[in-house]
Structure 1
Amino acid sequence: MSLYDAVMAIPRSGRTFENFISKLSSQTQDLPNAEALIKAVKAGKKRKDQNYAVASQYLTELQSSPVASNLGLFIDRKREERPYRVGFLGADVEIGGLNVRIEGDEPHNCSSLVGLGEADIAVAGLDELLAVTHNSLSMSATKWGMYNYNLKKEHKVRIAGSAMLTRYNDVVSREVQDMVGFFLIAKQRPSSGPNTGYPKDYLEHLETHKNKVFVKGRYVEKVRKSYPKLNIEPVHDVEDAVNDSETGDVGLEIVQTGSTLRRKNLVLLGAPLFLSESLYVVDYYKYNSGTEDSLKALLDTFAPVGYFEQQRLEQFAYWYHALQENLGDSWINKPRIEDIFCSHQDSVRGLRPYSLKTRYWTPSDSYKRDDAFQFVENSISELKDIYNQVVSGQLK
């Protein structure tokens, strides 16, 4: 019999880790030093080193810290030099009367641990899910609300909903959800002379003219599946590859606030090819087994939010507003907020509301389908109203 009512996997460093620990600290008494934990892991990035002995010195320095038992060394595979660094190891916490083990791992491994039965629930982004499960989908899912619909029924790793993790955004001076877009990025073009201007439909332009599209290696296969006509080249650093290119090549990069693009004098092109955010990913069949009341209780406590729910519409408006305010003219051919959020084609391909009581956590194609389409249209209209309130300052 397990010592824990549930085991949860989360990223062991980075923004998602920081945002989740901040949120979790308000739901348990067992993380009294959450800020110190976040600070220690964050400092681990600066103290990383290819030499194990050098990197472990920082861990040794932390042995007298109240968060020492939550930390460990790992290899940072996101960095080309693959250094050792300090990250989150784990913590035993009580959440809503449940004994829960929280374990840190590679972001792309968290959902895999659920699939392997080594964890019951994980925090993961759609980008991480697609990187390891794109072959399990019947059709491409460019937004997380479409993911479950396009999964084979036997696949147990499913999205329960958004974790609604937020972070303070200096541009709009408020907490904004950790949404990101996978955008095409390019060099700034001169305002006059040859090679000025940008194609209106850059994606179509790339498919026709076959310019290189630089993509981080772990995302290559999912991008190829969704956009098979693109001339994709895997690289370690997309932004550097774009800046070094002399032939008008572009990159596909994750963008949250746009600050890095501005600093490197790069521009954003059109609409995102994918949208992602931190999600609660769960073993669906264990959740519905009838013997896992603890997993249901834990998910009730976390309260995952649906794609079309009011609070998410508000956060989507905040994120879009913050991104456009930060980028200004550096966002070329900026789409309307409703076009990014949900198109009619998205709805046909499964982007419709569902709940945790819905079979397979996916919308039905037979039961009240027309009502679901109408609900989507109403949500889009509501999103536009919310966005107008954000821009006018009525909603803060």
Structure 2
Amino acid sequence: MSPNFDLTCVVPRSGRTLRNFLHRLVGLGANAEEIAQIVRIIDVSKGSSTPDLPAVLETFRNITRDAPPCFSVFVDRKRAHRPYRIGFLGYEWQVGKHRLRVEGEEPHNGSSLIKLDEVDFAIVGLDELLSMTQYYLRNPTLVTKWGMYNYHLEKPTGIRIAGSAMLTSHNAQLDEQIQDMVGFFLISKPGGRSRSPVDFETLSKHGRRVYVKGRYTGIVHAAYPGLHIVSVEDVEEAVTSGERGSVGIEIVQSGNTLKRKGLVLHGPPLFLSESLLVVDYDRYVQNTALRNLIESLKPIGYFEAERIRQFAKWFYALEQNLGESWIEQPAVESLFCVPEDVPEGLRPYRLQTRKWKPDDRYKRGEAEALVERSRQQLRKCYETLKARNSPN
């Protein structure tokens, strides 16, 4: 039996990334009313999570009765009590000339399904990508920014990052839409007897206990094998309920939860992440429909001007929200990139670039100059934001 769709895409079955990607499809011609109904149920369904399956099924029948038939009940394995929850299963939309099937999955399964040749592309964060594909990378500890990922792929795989999906959501600090960037930061509970700085090298040297969410322990151990890693379900809760000076490593976007719980953030992150267009490159080369769709989604390169503006907004909003609770805050341009990243593959590439991977023999000097221009441009965007929002 032939499918009635042309292409397949995997997205998280719940949460902010799913909601933002569906809104993005509206701009490409997907039915706005259908997507509005779906988003409403996604927002409501989070509160129906419970280990009581009959109760979830009853809620499912009630809230999905007048909605597009695209939901299912799944087990939320990220929670220790493994509750049942309503999530996005799948739906098809006409996007340009092509029929697209969008399927909901666990976030970390996106790259796995590409590896198994079961999906054309996925919306995946670098955190999930690193968790699931370290095996393919020459040195995963050097991949601290998504623009370095393709360069470090060493073993055979079709998995490639086409670029940023440029998904945005409302930021209360700036009262505007900003990109869904996050950092994998050290956080701590204020106080404690230790006077040593809270940074990755010092903690690793002294074998300090650090709380890490289970699915990220492999990434952290690969980067800092000297850390005493304690796997937990909820890092912020473990740090909050621990003794003074307790330390964890957590994904931070806006800093709202840290601020509410009285925790502090330290230094630069282990790596940066955002929603990415991750594509089966072998299919992309062979499939005209896939090439057309990816081009219509307009993946954004690491150094493109719009992404630089969004990075400045994200950094400034986080800085303003946390204030003095961000200890040893790095300069915005050093967080974005440093000259030492260039030899490790942080250089521009386009959809026309072979294997979406910078070539060490091609325009290396131009790439180094671009990195420096990008840093200057980012600093200018950041200073403009500060001046615009200054009370004076």
TM range (shorter): over 0.9
Deviations 1:37-69 (Å, cap 9, x if unpaired)?
Answer: 1121121111111121111111110343133x0
1:187 and 2:182 are equivalent in the alignment: no
Paired residue for 2:49?
48
Deviations 1:258-296 (Å, cap 9, x if unpaired)?
Answer: 00001111000011111000000000111112xx00000
Q: Aligned partners of 1:63, 1:316: CA distance in 2, in Å?
A: 37
1:383 and 2:378 are equivalent in the alignment: yes
Q: Aligned partners of 2:46, 2:354: CA distance in 1, in Å?
A: 42
Shift of 1:9: 0.5
Deviations 1:71-112 (Å, cap 9, x if unpaired)?
Answer: 111111121211111111111100011011011111111221
**Where do residues 69-80 of structure 1 align in structure 2 (5 Å cutoff)?**
69-80=69-80
Paired residue for 1:144?
146
Q: Aligned partners of 1:220, 1:145: CA distance in 2, in Å?
A: 22
1:360 and 2:355 are equivalent in the alignment: yes
Shift of 1:339: 1.1
Q: Aligned partners of 1:231, 1:346: CA distance in 2, in Å?
A: 28
Shift of 1:230: 2.1
State the AA in 1 paired with 2:44. A
Paired residue for 1:94?
94
Question: Contact 1:71 / 1:90 at 8 angstroms: preserved in 2?
Answer: yes
1:64 and 2:61 are equivalent in the alignment: no
Question: Contact 2:122 / 2:277 at 8 angstroms: preserved in 1?
Answer: yes
Q: Aligned partners of 1:227, 1:345: CA distance in 2, in Å?
A: 20
SS at match of 2:78: coil
Question: Contact 2:148 / 2:346 at 8 angstroms: preserved in 1?
Answer: yes
Question: Contact 1:148 / 1:361 at 8 angstroms: preserved in 2?
Answer: yes
SS at match of 1:107: coil
Task: Specify which of 369, 373, 376 is matched with residue 374 of structure 1.
Answer: 369
Q: Aligned partners of 1:37, 1:93: CA distance in 2, in Å?
A: 13
Shift of 1:245: 2.4
1:249 and 2:246 are equivalent in the alignment: yes
SS at match of 1:33: helix
Deviations 1:232-267 (Å, cap 9, x if unpaired)?
Answer: 121111112112322733100000000000111100
**Where do residues 119-198 of structure 1 align in structure 2 (5 Å cutoff)?**
119-140=119-140, 141-152=143-154, 154-189=156-191, 195=193
Paired residue for 2:112?
112
State the AA in 1 paired with 2:151. Y
Paired residue for 1:316?
311
Shift of 1:198: 6.2
Paired residue for 1:288?
285
Paired residue for 1:34?
35
Could you tell me the TM-score, scaled by structure 1's length? 0.94
State the AA in 1 paired with 2:59. Y
Shift of 1:367: 1.0
Q: Aligned partners of 1:226, 1:133: CA distance in 2, in Å?
A: 15
Question: Contact 1:72 / 1:86 at 8 angstroms: preserved in 2?
Answer: yes
State the AA in 2 paired with 1:133. T
Instruction: State the percentage of identical aligned residues.
Output: 45
1:227 and 2:224 are equivalent in the alignment: yes
Q: Aligned partners of 1:324, 1:100: CA distance in 2, in Å?
A: 39
Unaligned runs of 5+ in 2: none
Question: Contact 2:349 / 2:358 at 8 angstroms: preserved in 1?
Answer: yes
